């Protein structure tokens, strides 16, 4: 039996992962560009913000900000028709427009509202966002590859992340360092299909990626809508990535052997002005980022635990929620699920 997802209350943040069936490598440059286009269109339509992301050859990572539905402005008919071209063809849009016009001519406000609510229900919803993303990518890939059937390996995994800078930047760095762990690039900005890589590019996509990364830094979290100086935001996040992703060569005293990472010379260039201490463990695959259920401060995890217990999602035998992650210096971060088997793994291939 499937367990319900932990979705949180109000504006929430989630690290989501989904893998291709059999973990085959099917996403190459053209497919990754198509995936990113679909992702950005859904982001605009649904109001779910992509803080950062990484698309690999057989899986993807997303750090999503899901808005409080009660605070998400509903679209009127004109606004809806303006965004529908993101997802639908001309004929479909004309049909919807005709339905709205007919309802208005008949003075049937209930009918018009029902049409609008068909689309409104899809906005600001984590599960629907991921469902539509995976469906649309599946349709594209099946046509491209001349195949049918399931593209994805079961349901997506999701981790509820506290909406504070420490937890969010830790998860964001883990996501943007995926190409470094997989030895695809030497510097994270050289990988085009990630939030950080896109933010270092140009055009509308770069602007959207910069907004996403800026939105999880302290000033934005405390004052939503704050304007960001990208140069300052970039510097802080670059230092975080480079310090976290620095390679460690092996020697007779250190096991396992050297892990892929950013060269010390590049790290030195990136951190000439300031440094941010970060746990070394982000250079490796960490199950807490996919299977830890909830990640954040002890208080945040305890609040989530109490909410889940009150709603019957956790049994009465468990008395406390926050668990200290094992095997590394996680600072003040805690998780809900205490993992003991294969917590850390080698870099993905």
In terms of pLDDT, which residue wins out, 290 or 110?
A: 110
CA atoms within 13 A on the CB side of 101: 7
| pLDDT tens digits along 273-289 | 443 334 444 544 455 45
* Among 67, 45, 333, residue whose Cα is nearest residue 224: 67
Q: What is the mean pLDDT of residues 288-292?
A: 51
- Residue-wise pLDDT for 92-106, tens only, equals 999 999 999 999 999
How much of the chain, in percent, has pLDDT values that exceed 90?
44
139, 127, 30, 177: CA torsion to nearest 10: -160
pLDDT at residue 281 in the model: 46
Q: Please report the pLDDT score of residue 227 as a whole number.
A: 61
pLDDT at residue 273, as a whole number: 45
Q: pLDDT confidence of 347, banded at 50, 70, 90?
A: very low
Q: How far is CA 92 from CA 7, 84, 89, 142, in A?
A: 32, 9, 6, 22
Give me the pLDDT at residue 56, please: 96
Question: pLDDT tens, 226-239?
Answer: 666 666 677 778 88
149-194 pLDDT per residue, tens: 889 988 888 889 998 888 999 999 999 999 998 889 888 888 999 9
* pLDDT for res 322: 74
Write down the pLDDT at residue 276.
32
The pLDDT of residue 75 is 92
Percent of the chain predicted with pLDDT > 70: 74
pLDDT in tens, 17-39: 999 998 899 999 999 999 999 99
Q: How many CB atoms lie within 10 A of CB 302?
A: 17
Taking alpha carbons only, the member of 280, 45, 42 closest to residue 53 is 42
pLDDT digits (tens, 9 = 90+) for 39-71: 999 999 999 999 999 999 999 999 999 999 888
């Amino acid at each position: 039996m499937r367990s319900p997802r932990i979705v949180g209350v109000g504006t929430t943040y989630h690290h989501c992962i989904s893998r291709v069936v059999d973990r085959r490598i099917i996403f190459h440059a053209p497919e990754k560009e198509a995936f990113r286009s679909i992702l950005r269109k859904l982001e605009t339509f649904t109001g779910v913000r992509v803080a950062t992301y990484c698309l690999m050859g057989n899986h993807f990572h997303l750090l999503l900000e899901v808005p409080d539905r009660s605070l998400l402005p509903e679209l009127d008919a004109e606004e809806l028709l303006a965004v529908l071209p993101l997802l639908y063809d001309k004929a479909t849009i004309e049909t919807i427009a005709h339905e709205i016009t007919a309802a208005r001519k008949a003075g049937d406000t209930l009918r018009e509202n029902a049409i609008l609510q068909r689309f409104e229900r899809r906005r600001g919803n984590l599960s629907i966002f991921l469902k539509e993303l995976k469906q649309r990518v599946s349709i594209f890939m099946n046509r491209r590859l001349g195949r049918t059937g399931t593209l994805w390996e079961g349901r997506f995994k999701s981790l509820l992340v506290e909406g504070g800078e420490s937890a969010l930047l830790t998860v964001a760095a883990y996501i943007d360092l995926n190409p470094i762990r997989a030895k695809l690039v030497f510097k994270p900005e050289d990988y085009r299909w990630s939030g950080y890589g896109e933010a270092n590019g140009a055009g509308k996509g770069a602007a959207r990626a910069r907004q996403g990364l800026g939105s999880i830094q302290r000033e934005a979290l405390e004052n939503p809508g704050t304007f960001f100086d990208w140069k300052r935001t970039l510097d802080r996040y670059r230092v975080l990535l480079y310090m976290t992703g620095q390679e460690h060569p092996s020697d007779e005293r250190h096991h396992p052997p050297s892990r892929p990472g950013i060269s010390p010379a590049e790290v030195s260039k990136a951190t000439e002005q300031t440094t941010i201490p970060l746990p070394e463990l982000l250079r490796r695959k960490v199950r807490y980022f996919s299977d830890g259920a909830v990640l954040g401060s002890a208080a945040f995890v305890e609040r989530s635990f109490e909410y889940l217990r009150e709603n019957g999602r956790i049994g009465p035998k468990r008395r406390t929620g926050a668990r200290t992650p094992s095997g590394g210096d996680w600072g003040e971060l805690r998780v809900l699920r205490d993992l003991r088997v294969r917590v850390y793994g080698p870099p993905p291939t």
